[in-house]
Chain A
Amino acid sequence: MVTVLDMPETTSPITLNQPAPAPEPEVERGMIEIDRLGFAYGNHQVLHDVSLSIPARAVTAFIGPSGCGKTTLLRCLNRMNDLIDSARITGGAIRIEGVDINAPSVDVVDLRRRVGMVFQKSNPFPKSIYDNVAYGLRIAGVTKRALIDEAVERSLRSAALWDEVKDRLHVSGYGLSGGQQQRLCIARALAVEPEIVLMDEPCSALDPIATAKVEELIRQLKQQYTIVIVTHNMQQAGRCSDHTAFFYLGRLIEFDLTTKIFSNPGQRQTEEYITGRFG
């Protein structure tokens, strides 16, 4: 019982396990190219030989059972794994617009500004709503009040939160509900005008109504941003993504249009996972 909403007709399928049909002209190459990536925590190999091409201005979902490496892969995309001592890349490369993000010449601060992230648990800073959204700009050295004001309003509008908070911008972000907090975190990520937004199970702690709002938001945001979302919720992947990648035990099993994955998966494991036979 999978219903796919808002499926765009224009984007082309990008697959790896099957020979891809000749790409249509508007997407000749993915925005993010993951090329035979291997990744390990200490001696524990988490990702094996993952190759994937994520298209621009579309939503790509990573699905798979717990521990399959999807979150790890997501965190590789903005090098959040650098914060973990034992984490290391064991092979392959990730290229964003053709640039290897792990190259020594790449400034990680700059990379993270271009690749925003929204976390599983909403994590606003213990500051006011305004200061939360302004944080990214301030650390980037923006001091002009007018610029910050404008960016805060724009981001909160993009996150569909402006109308709910515009009268209390200077109260603590903790006064908001769980769903609002998560949208605040999305606004915070959008304020620095990233090109790519990574979302790590953004709705796992939200109730169905808040989830619906965030999903609606994700569908709107893909007009401007490239979105990669990790989710445990099959319906969610079906509802809001254009492409879906299925991972199992650190390997990419299948990557295709979401419609294809959910209606006619190419691999038996994918089908079993989607239909709920394991996972």
Chain B
Amino acid sequence: MEGVADPRILIPARSTSRRTQVVVEQGIKAFFGGNALVAVVVLALITIFLFREGFGFFGQNLANLRLYRQAGLEYVDIIRGVSMEHESLSRKLSEIRLREVRTMEKRNVPLEEINAKLAPFDQFASSFSDTAETLHSLVSDLTEKASALKEKLFAQAELLAQRSQLERAGAQAEAARIVVPEVDRTAALASLHQGAATYESVSADMTAKLYSLFAAAPPLPDPAAQKNFEQWKTRTREYLAALPAASEKLRTWSSEAEIPWYRSLSSFLFGREWITASFWQDWYGIIPLLVGSIMVSIVALVIAVPLGVSSAIYVSEIASRHEKRLIKPYIEFISAIPSVVLGFFGIAVVGQAVRAASQSHFFKWVSFFPISERLNIFTAGCLLALMAVPTIFTLSEDALRNVPRGFKEASYALGANRLQTIGRVLVPASLSGIVSAILLGLGRVIGETMVVLLCAGNRIAIPDFTQGLGAIFQPVHTMTGIIAQEMGEVVRGSTHYRALFMVGLVLFTITLGINYLAQKLVTRFRMSIG
């Protein structure tokens, strides 16, 4: 302000001051505008990068699926499915035996007597698993053949890609020097196809053996176990009835059948297996991860919503001023705990405590206890609930506090007690605010990485929902966890790398949707109160 420096002129000369003012104003505008622009551009670039890397997945995955068919892996997997089903039936038998032993132990039957009683059953079980010997060896034989073919085809594709890259770069001479070996796919596939005949003889043999085995099935002493055993028999009969269907599939299977483009998307979105870096076939199915994330979030919300909303109601309506001063900052303080510390606490304390509790005598009546895994959905959910409580609490408390005082007074003046006022006026009036608080809590939970990585157990599997509530005591892997865990190890540009980006995109879409919904609810809530 040079004008002020001159004592004789009270109002600074207009022309200079105006010019500087304009410059200053423009500078300020440029500064703030520039910052906003940088933020927007960076976010846009991130989103574009995410989409670009992610969408490359579909082409690569389609090639991956085509190779699976062309190399005959699919063919082998049809037979493998039959053999795996047999194994699972065999496992079922040992489960039935285990349960039987437990019930007898409860009745204090000595061990020798148990073994003696179950001897015919054991005999039955071992002859059952023997019936699949030839089937298993057929599978391992075909597996070797198919994977050898796949490796050759893969190497060929690599070399072809290398050559075309060189050609595009203009290095024709070098490109010509690369020798691409011919792969005799027809011969290799023909030798695979012989498996069909073997399979048919094996399955006929197995069916005959099993039916004769059924005739001699031993009875079980316990009625409950007997019932399970009968169920098992029905399942096995169904299995046997399905054997010809597999052989029909083998006969009609062709390595040349086209794989439609949408399989690349559907195998990702609906695929139930996430298998990477496998010698056999990689599968990128998001379902186990999605289910893991959703299960963990549900458990977290089931715990966090009552805690967060009730404490918000308590603080805004019931607590004395003194209590308010204590509780509010305390709960908000939880959000200051770094998630890695919470995760650590989860491993060391919560997981341990849950397992110890499940083993205690007190909880013996719970059917799925004792649990075997210390790190599971429940442990992660508990910890995530801790992270969601401050969000839900703070925003719900805001919503409740913003309910006009008139509602409360009118309710009391009509003779309502405190509970009625809270339940019939305050909560309904702030409901959309509370729901959006819960949604934002959910957004926080589903995007949280460190805690689930440390506490969810990281087993890529869909929980076994047949166990009912027991499913929440099983380990899972989550979308956030898998990205954090695998992104550091994958080869840049590989199918796996792009699959992780796709997982990121799905996560992004989910959190975007949740936040959008919450925003919409908040606006509606403001309008209804305003």
Contact = CB atoms under 8 A, between A and B. Distances in A.
Interface stretch (B112-120, B391-399, B403-411, B450-458): B403-411
Given A119-B406, A125-B429, A139-B420, A83 B414 contact: no
B325 to A, nearest CB: 13
Contacts of A123: 404, 406-407, 409-410
A75 to B, nearest CB: 9
Given A123-B407, A139-B420, A192 B414 contact: yes
Contacts of B409: 80, 83, 117, 119, 123
A126 B412 contact: no
A44 B529 CA distance: 33
A128 to B, nearest CB: 12
A82 B417 CA distance: 12
Interface residues of B, number: 22
Contact of B428 (A126, A140, A185): A126
A119 B405 CA distance: 11
B414 A139 contact: yes
Given A123-B404, A126-B528, A136-B415, A188 B420 contact: no
Interface string B402-437: 001011111111111100100011001100000000
Given A119-B413, A136-B414, 5 more contacts: A125-B429, A127-B428, A135-B411, A185-B410, A189-B414
Nearest to A110: B415
Q: Is the interface of B mostly helix, strand, loop or mixed?
A: helix
28 contacts: A80-B412, A83-B409, A109-B416, A109-B417, A112-B413, A112-B414, A113-B414, A113-B415, A117-B409, A117-B410, A117-B413, A119-B406, A123-B404, A125-B407, A125-B410, A125-B425, A126-B407, A126-B528, A126-B529, A135-B411, A135-B414, A135-B416, A139-B414, A139-B417, A140-B415, A185-B410, A188-B414, A189-B413
Given A121-B406, A123-B407, A125-B407, A116 B413 contact: yes
Contacts of B15: none
Interface string A155-183: 00000000000000000001000000000
Contacts of B410: 117, 119, 123-125, 185, 188
Contacts of B416: 109, 135-136, 139
Contacts of A116: 413-414
Contacts of B414: 112-113, 116, 135-136, 139, 188-189, 192
B320 interface: yes
A139 B528 contact: no
A117 B416 CA distance: 13
